[in-house]
Structure 1
Amino acid sequence: MSINTIRAAFAHCAFTGLSRNHLGLLLTDLLPAWTAAREDRLHARRTRTRIRKPGAGRRPRLSFTDRVVITLVHLRLAIPHAALAVAYGVDRATVTRAVTQIRPLLARRGFATPAGTRLHTLADVFAYAAAEGVTLRIDATEIRVRRPRQGRPGRKAFVSGKLKQNTIKTTLAADHHGAILWCGATRPGRMHDVTTARVEGVDALLDAYPSVKVLVDAGYQGLARDHHDQVSAPPLKLRPGAPTEQQAAWEHDRKRQSSQRIAVEHAIAELKWWRVLQRFTGRRELLPETINAIAGLVSDRSAGLTW
C-alpha cells in the first residue's frame, strides 16, 4: 500500500472524527501558529548566523498535514504511536514529536460559539452568557487514569469517591443546545464537583454577572444555596413517609430541572466519543491539554462552523 493511500485513508472522517471541510478549516487555522513555533525551535538551536536560505535543508519526514492528521487519529481512536509510525514508515519518536507539537496548538484554540467568537476562560463564558442571554449548564465528568506509583505524595488524591477508581475530574459549561462553551478546572478525582468550581472562581463570577442563570446537578447544592437566585439545582430529597402529593410534586420538579440540564450531559457524552478520553493511559499532566484540544474540536461542530 502506497503512502498516499495511507494518507488518504487516515484523513477520512472515520479516523479523524472531522469532516473534510472541518479538517481543511483546522489546517488553515493551525498553520500560522505551527510555522511560528517551528521557527522559534529552529532559532533556539542556532549557535551562529544562518547560512542556508530559509526553507533549505533536509525535508521533514512528516508534513504539517501529516502531523495534524496523526494527532487527530491518535486522539480519536487512541491508536498507539508505534502503530502510526509503522503506517507512515517513520520512527515512533517522530510520531510522538508530531503529537507533542500539534496538541498544544489545538488546546490553545479555545471554544467556538455560534456568534463566531472563541472563548478561553470561564470569565469569557460568563461575559458571553450575559451578553447573549444564555442559561449555562455546568457539570463535571471523570476520566480514568493510571494509578500513581506507591510511595508518591498525593497518591490518594486521585481515588474517586463515586467511581472508586483513580480518576481526574474536569468541568464543562454548555448552552441549551449542548454546545461546549468551556472546559477546564481539571483536578484529581477525589475533589468534590462544587469545590472544583469554587476553586476556579465561579462564586466571584456569579456575583459579577447577576443576570447569568446556571443549571447544575445535585452535586452543586452548596452553590445553589449560596446563589439561590442564579443557580438552579434539583430539589432536595424528601424524608421517608412524605405525603403522596408532596412526592408527586417533588418528582415533577426533579424531572423538569433534569430535562433542562440534560444538554450538558449530551456535551459530555460527545466528548467521550474520543477514545483517548474513555481511559487515559498517558501521563496525567498531559490530560488537561488533551481535554482542551478535543473539547475545542467538538465545539467547532456544535457551533456549526464545520460544514
Structure 2
Amino acid sequence: MTRAAIVSNRRITGLSVGVFAELVADLGPLWHVCHEAKLVSRPWQRAVGVGEEYRLVFIDRLLATFVHLGYGVTHDVLACWFGVDRCVIARAVGEVRALLAGRGCTISPGVRLRTLAEVIGHLGASGQTGIIDGHRDPGPPSGRRTQGPGHLYLREEQAECREVHDLHRRGGAAAVLLRSTTPGSCADITHARALGLVRLLADGPAVEILADAGYQGPGAQTGGRVVTPPHRKFKKNAPDWYEEMHERQRKAHSSRRIRVEHGIAHLKNWRALARHLGRREHMSDTVQAVAGLLSHQQTADLSPRRQR
C-alpha cells in the first residue's frame, strides 16, 4: 500500500510513473551488480545468498530515497512506513543516492552529460548557449556554509520545437552539475577556475557562456567566450544617452540569464537542497542526484508522446 500510494502521486516523488519506471529499469540491474560484488568481496562462513531474503526490495529503496530527498523525511519515519529497521533505510538511501548522482543530467532523450568536458563539447557541437552560475547552500547544522556547485544551463535555440522554448522560458532548464561542492566561502570565479572551466573554454570549441559580474575575469582569458554584464565606463556625471544605453544592455543580459536563477529555484524545491541537514560529505551526491532527477523529468515532459 505504501509503494502504490507513493508511485501514483507525482507530488510525493516529483517524478511521473513513466520516469520512475525508466529509473527502475536503468538503476535496478546496476544496484544488483554492486550488491553482488559487495557480497563476494566479504568473507563468509557459508555460501553467498544463503539466509533470509531482503524485505526492502530495490523499488522500495528507490521510493524511500525519493521521499527523503524531496521532503526531508527522516529515516525513522521511512522505517515505520516500510516496516524495516532504521539502519536498513539509511543504507538504502546512501546506495541509491550514489547511483543517482553517477547518472548525470539528461539534456535531451538519449543525451546525458556527466562531466564539464562533456558539457562544453555538447555546447560546441550543438551551437547552444550556456548559462553558468553558482548558489550557496544553507549548510549543515554546524554553522559552516557550503558553496554550492556551479550549474551550467543549456538554452535551446529558437529553431527547436516550441515546447522546449516554452519550458526554458518558464525556467525549467536542464541543470548540469559541473563538479562537487566546495566547503566554506568561495567566490564564483575561484570555483570556476578550480573546475578547469577557463582551460576547457580556451582550448575547446567556440561556445558562448553567459555569466554574472562574478565571472568577469574568465571573459578576457577565454577570448570573450564568457559574456558578463557590460562595464560602467562613467562613474560620475554620465550623460543621459549613456545611462539609457547601459540600462538597456544590462537588462538584455539579465533577461537571458534569468533561466539559471529559475533553474536553481527548481532545485531548491527539493527539501534536501532547501535545507541540508545531513552530513557534509553527502552534499555533493545529494545535489547531483536531485539535478539528475529534475533534468530527467523535465526532458520527459517535453516528449509529445507523454503529453497526450
Q: Secondary structure at the match of 2:134?
A: strand
Residue aligned with 1:113, SS: strand
1:64 alignment partner in structure 2: 58
Q: Which residue of 1 aligns with 2:266?
A: 270
State yes or no: 1:257 paired with 2:272.
no
Residues of 2 paired with 1:302 and 1:218: CA distance? 29
Matches within 5 A, 1:185-264: 185-237=180-232, 238-264=234-260
2:2 corresponds to which of 6, 18, 25: 6
Matches within 5 A, 1:1-307: 5-11=1-7, 12-47=9-44, 50=47, 56-114=50-108, 116-146=110-140, 148=142, 158=144, 166-176=145-155, 177=168, 178-237=173-232, 238-304=234-300, 307=306
Q: Aligned residue for 2:163?
A: none
In 2: Cα distance, 1:79 partner to 1:114 partner: 31
Give the TM-score of the pair, scaled to structure 2: 0.87
The answer to whether the 8 Å contact 2:273/2:287 transfers is yes
Q: Which moves more between the two structures, 61-70 or 108-117?
A: 108-117
Q: Judge conservation of contact 2:19–2:300 (CA < 8 Å) in 1.
A: no
Measure how far apart 1:225 and its partner are. 3.1
CA distance in 1, matches of 2:276, 2:4: 27
| Residues 1:85 and 1:197: Cα distance change in structure 2 (over 3 Å) | same
- % identity of equivalent residues: 38
Tell me the distance in 1 between the aligned counterparts of 2:141 and 2:192: 24
Return the alpha-carbon distance in structure 1 between the equivalents of residues 174 and 149 of structure 2: 16
Question: 2:146 and 2:236 mapped to 1: Cα distance?
Answer: 34
> Which structure 2 segments of 5+ residues have no match?
156-167
Aligned partners of 2:54, 2:243: CA distance in 1, in Å?
Answer: 67
Q: For the residues of structure 2 that align with 1:115 and 1:67, how far apart are their CA atoms?
A: 26
Work out the CA distance in 1 between the residues paired with 2:116 and 2:17.
31
Count of residues in correspondence between the two structures = 285
Which of 265-274 and 38-47 deviates more?
38-47
1:142–1:189 CA contact under 8 A, matched in 2: no
**What is the RMSD of the two structures over their aligned residues, measured on CA atoms?**
1.9
Which 5+ residue runs of structure 1 have no aligned equivalent?
Answer: 150-157, 159-165
Decide which moves more: 283-292 or 207-216: 207-216
Cα pair distance change 1:147/1:81, threshold 3 Å: closer
Deviations 1:196-228 (A, max 9, x none): 000000111111224111100111111223235
- Paired residue secondary structure (1:242): coil
Partner SS, residue 300 of structure 2: coil
Q: 1:183 to 1:9 in 2, by over 3 A?
A: farther
Say which SS state the counterpart of residue 230 (structure 2) adopts. coil
Structure 1 residue identity aligned to 2:58: F
After superposition, the C-alpha distances for 1:246-292 in whole angstroms (9 at most, x for unaligned) are 11111100010111111211211111110110110111111001101
Q: What is the TM-score normalised by the length of structure 1?
A: 0.87
Which whole-Å deviations, capped at 9, do the CAs of 1:133-176 have from their partners, x for residues lacking one?
Answer: 11111100111112548xxxxxxxx4xxxxxxx23321100111
Secondary structure of residue in 2 paired with 1:304: helix
Partner of 1:163: none
